[in-house]
Structure 1
């Protein structure tokens, strides 16, 4: 099979645990892929500016699926956006009250160029981490202060993510899509948002068949994408739930350049 597109998750997949990556090896991958007429796609739950910071030395050499598929950028331009129904914001905030003493910090409402944070469990350490992770973070008291489309609602409830996800599904049903990237992290998005739908948008725009796409992931928020492509690869350090599917495994984990080494073996 040929490879025309390669999509990869970032955290615990493309990136090492310290959020760095082997830039020299990535450039080798890009050069080989581009020489064959292929393109590389970053497919992540991170916001756009965070990705640009990671890839500052690779501007113009990749396409981007951000916020778990809520945004698609092609050649640096925003091409498609899916937002969370406005009516769901207050409901999610209220549902988190039950878990207030278990939340790492609070609830983040991610817009295109800023993030609104409602702090439910004050913690200076996690507040600092959130300010570093989210773009232009603003602490608010109530969702009534939000007056723009929200692409993603994010929160971290260690060990209770599946219980909270069941609560969200019971109350909001199919008006939202709720997923976890593991480690207690939960994302709530528009029901049409996942990495697969965003990748489908790119593939159809570029006239590429699923059989000619390779994808890498480590979490359940990568599952739809891995099922969509013809050449799915689960990381050896992936959530065990991914191992129950018929996916190839990377030749190494994220700490040992698993994405790059697998690509170089296969293309």
Structure 2
């Protein structure tokens, strides 16, 4: 019998396939079986909450979200925990990034409680992807004049540079932020010492669960801490080397072949 009582998963590159889809019927059946044996299911993503609601609308039994790389935790529509970046730090980081030709991204966004803010002069490389990931865009003239609760700063850079740039940002603002590559040419900047692992374990503790009872799936650098700090860290076969290196298990199949769902079946069968 498995000791796992909580399963958490990243979304893009992990739970979703390359067409940004998942097997609704199979997953819905799994949710029923998970609930029957007392295993909770949690979405742990760098994305904002509105996007996650839209992705999982076909399976409404999914009601727990560790969003914004751990900065916002919502269960059954109730905000349980939130960790924000203070507005003075947001303005300092935004000003510094935009003033430095070596740091300036194609697009810079602020992910807030009431919208995702973007300078009206910025144009993403892929407008369709922006429309997919951000269904709450608010265009402004100056990001430093945004007055909202800010969970995350997000930027687009060439994909091959994001690990090095994330390290440079952390060195530039020590103790003020935590920057992490989230894949697809994107870097997420959250409050210092915040990541998916912190958010997920905060949630697990509130439910009286130990880390040994938690399994988590991920594919990219912003999943690394989460996989390191749970009882069963599962890296996707298609994941980055840095994530696969810290995992307890690598999925036998990739995200285009139900990698997460196959391991969930193995957990339910007591094989993992």
Deviations 1:165-194 (A, max 9, x none): 233223211111110122321000011321
Q: Which runs of 5+ in 2 are unaligned?
A: none
Q: Secondary structure at the match of 1:30?
A: helix
Deviations 1:25-57 (A, max 9, x none): 111221111110111000011111111111113
Query: Is the Cα contact below 8 Å between 2:212 and 2:231 reproduced in 1?
Result: yes
Instruction: Provide the C-alpha distance between the structure 1 equivalents of 2:38 and 2:135, rounded to a whole number of angstroms.
Output: 33
Corresponding residue of 1:145: 145
Aligned length: 265
How many Å apart are 1:139 and its aligned residue?
1.8
Corresponding residue of 2:97: 95
Q: Quick check: 182-191 or 255-264, which moved more?
A: 182-191
Instruction: Provide the C-alpha distance between the structure 2 equivalents of 1:122 and 1:227, rounded to a whole number of angstroms.
Output: 36
Query: Is the Cα contact below 8 Å between 2:56 and 2:62 reproduced in 1?
Result: no
Corresponding residue of 1:130: 130
Corresponding residue of 2:232: 231
How many Å apart are 1:84 and its aligned residue?
1.2
Change (3 A) 1:74 1:262: same
Instruction: Provide the C-alpha distance between the structure 1 equivalents of 2:24 and 2:104, rounded to a whole number of angstroms.
Output: 37
Instruction: Provide the C-alpha distance between the structure 2 equivalents of 1:101 and 1:177, rounded to a whole number of angstroms.
Output: 15
Instruction: Provide the C-alpha distance between the structure 1 equivalents of 2:67 and 2:247, rounded to a whole number of angstroms.
Output: 26
Map 1:1-20 → 2, pairs under 5 A: 1-20=2-21
Corresponding residue of 1:157: 157
Corresponding residue of 1:207: 208
Instruction: Provide the C-alpha distance between the structure 2 equivalents of 1:49 and 1:180, rounded to a whole number of angstroms.
Output: 21
Query: Is the Cα contact below 8 Å between 2:118 and 2:143 reproduced in 1?
Result: no
Corresponding residue of 1:61: 62
Query: Is the Cα contact below 8 Å between 1:85 and 1:175 reproduced in 2?
Result: no
Instruction: Provide the C-alpha distance between the structure 2 equivalents of 1:150 and 1:64, rounded to a whole number of angstroms.
Output: 17
TM-score by length of 1: 0.92
Alpha-carbon RMSD across the aligned residues, in angstroms, is 2.0
Query: Is the Cα contact below 8 Å between 2:97 and 2:104 reproduced in 1?
Result: no
Deviations 1:217-236 (A, max 9, x none): 00111111111111111000
Corresponding residue of 1:186: 187
How many Å apart are 1:128 and its aligned residue?
4.9
Change (3 A) 1:251 1:101: same
Instruction: Provide the C-alpha distance between the structure 2 equivalents of 1:249 and 1:36, rounded to a whole number of angstroms.
Output: 24
Corresponding residue of 1:168: 169
Q: Secondary structure at the match of 2:100?
A: helix
Change (3 A) 1:182 1:136: closer
Corresponding residue of 1:198: 199
